[in-house]
Structure 1
């Protein structure tokens, strides 16, 4: 599936995979090449990608543009980075608009779908990539920390799915629908839901709730909207895990490497394009979910 977007230049050597991923991290600021392959199927279709100014959201937005999607690039405060993502999308010959909203604010979240439609004419898919990731554990847990994660990671994804369904139903009422499964929502989850540890408890609970919401929404919004999850493994370095420690942790999987941003983006694109899939989660982690880790990677 990585061939759907930019390829991570893998050597196939597990010992080289961590340094490969480090190079991938550095490449996130580079636009897709002008000759990137494009699929004819999504031509003229529009996706809203949350958190698309940076990191995985940016990679997903560029991957979709390379396949012929127009993209509404969401950000909260990273306007400069979001503008750069939009410029790179336009360089690929696709349309892009930048929408800024704090997803923890319900009223602000509810502006995103109508603003995307106003700017790009329609909306066919939502990719919920934006995420809050703050440390806590059972000893430091608080209502406030859990609420902060639920408001950022869980509730907005449900609201955006709801609003996408309403938009598509209205479009169908005008005779402009594309048939069953025309709309799709992809929620970014985490392999640690299948390989739990006690770190980042509020974050993990918010993603567990989102995984359950993925199933419930797939039932509730069918046949108009398909709802799927994509669960990456350790993919990008962070303030907690960098350099050699990141490289070592990235290699801790049955395949000798976890996911790259391109792996994740290609899987999102596959999920959006396959109209027979709904209510399931694709794990993209090199098999990390098959192993047992007592602590989060950043605490090892």
Structure 2
């Protein structure tokens, strides 16, 4: 029987919260992670517990290696193992490359690429111990295309790094019954500036959080054990 224990980073609010609650509804014991939003994370964890599963809220700044490692170890200890890791954390920046400060650059790399690396590297031994594992990392729609944009340079570089890292893990870990895949949302119902972006979308609506959760379902399914290193957009045709 598969061990159903999941950690979702950045799961106090938004997409991460929706995924963690969805996994709880699928019978997973879930660790909610937050950096600052303690009340929201605890509330989400309490809601998850109504599904009859074990849940908890754990605090960490995953841009710091030691805190990311502690988060994973604590989650695995309290949940009784770990089989699914969803790396949802990642700040966003719109700024011209020439005007991006060193601090902003570091924040983009740290919160997106480095945080994903720190969490996943610590989780891999636990996934191996579970006998199966699923790693789901987050990029954004069109991130697989090596093109420049006017105002997303640091963010795009960080997400491109996540894609390469995830594909490397996919090749290495398939023999351990562990897959690693990437979900790339476009504009979601919780995105900022919806009034401006909705007219740009092919079907004139953002992604529902449930639709992003469905993509997670696909990758973590036992039937998807041969699908790894893949990039799945949930963007309704945006940026194609």
- C-alpha distance in structure 2 between counterparts of 1:238 and 1:257, whole Å: 12
TM-superposed deviation, 1:86: 0.2
Q: Relative to structure 1, is the Cα distance of residues 197 and 107 closer, same or farther in structure 2, using a 3 angstrom cutoff?
A: same
Name the structure 2 match of 1:217.
169
The answer to whether the 8 A contact 2:62-2:118 is kept is no
TM-superposed deviation, 1:161: 2.0
Name the structure 2 match of 1:272.
220
- C-alpha distance in structure 2 between counterparts of 1:116 and 1:55, whole Å: 21
Return the match for 1:140 from 99, 102, 111: 99
Name the structure 1 match of 2:201.
253
- C-alpha distance in structure 1 between counterparts of 2:154 and 2:185, whole Å: 18
- Cα-to-partner distance string for 1:161-181 (whole Å, 9 max, x where unaligned): 222221233x2xxxxx53xxx
Q: How many residues align?
A: 235
Return the match for 1:188 from 125, 128, 138: 138
Return the match for 2:182 from 214, 220, 229: 229
Structure with the greater relative contact order (CA < 8 A, sep ≥ 6): 1 or 2?
A: 1
The answer to whether the 8 A contact 1:258-1:288 is kept is no
- C-alpha distance in structure 1 between counterparts of 2:161 and 2:105, whole Å: 11
Return the match for 2:154 from 185, 192, 202: 202
Name the structure 1 match of 2:34.
75
TM-superposed deviation, 1:258: 3.7
- Cα-to-partner distance string for 1:74-114 (whole Å, 9 max, x where unaligned): 10011110001101100111110111100111110011221
SS at 1:226's partner residue? strand
TM (norm. structure 2) is: 0.90
5+ long unaligned stretches in structure 1: 1-40, 172-176, 291-300
SS at 2:120's partner residue? helix
- C-alpha distance in structure 1 between counterparts of 2:171 and 2:120, whole Å: 12
Q: How does 1:160-199 map to 2 (within 5 A)?
A: 160-169=119-128, 171=129, 177-178=130-131, 182-193=132-143, 194=145, 197-199=149-151
SS at 1:117's partner residue? helix
- C-alpha distance in structure 2 between counterparts of 1:80 and 1:220, whole Å: 38
5+ long unaligned stretches in structure 2: none
Return the match for 2:22 from 49, 52, 63: 63
Name the structure 1 match of 2:236.
286
Name the structure 1 match of 2:54.
95
TM-superposed deviation, 1:270: 1.5
The answer to whether the 8 A contact 2:89-2:115 is kept is no
Q: How does 1:103-122 map to 2 (within 5 A)?
A: 103-122=62-81
The answer to whether the 8 A contact 1:258-1:287 is kept is no
Root mean square deviation, CA, Å:
1.9
TM-superposed deviation, 1:197: 2.8
SS at 1:139's partner residue? helix
The answer to whether the 8 A contact 2:31-2:56 is kept is yes
The answer to whether the 8 A contact 2:62-2:119 is kept is no
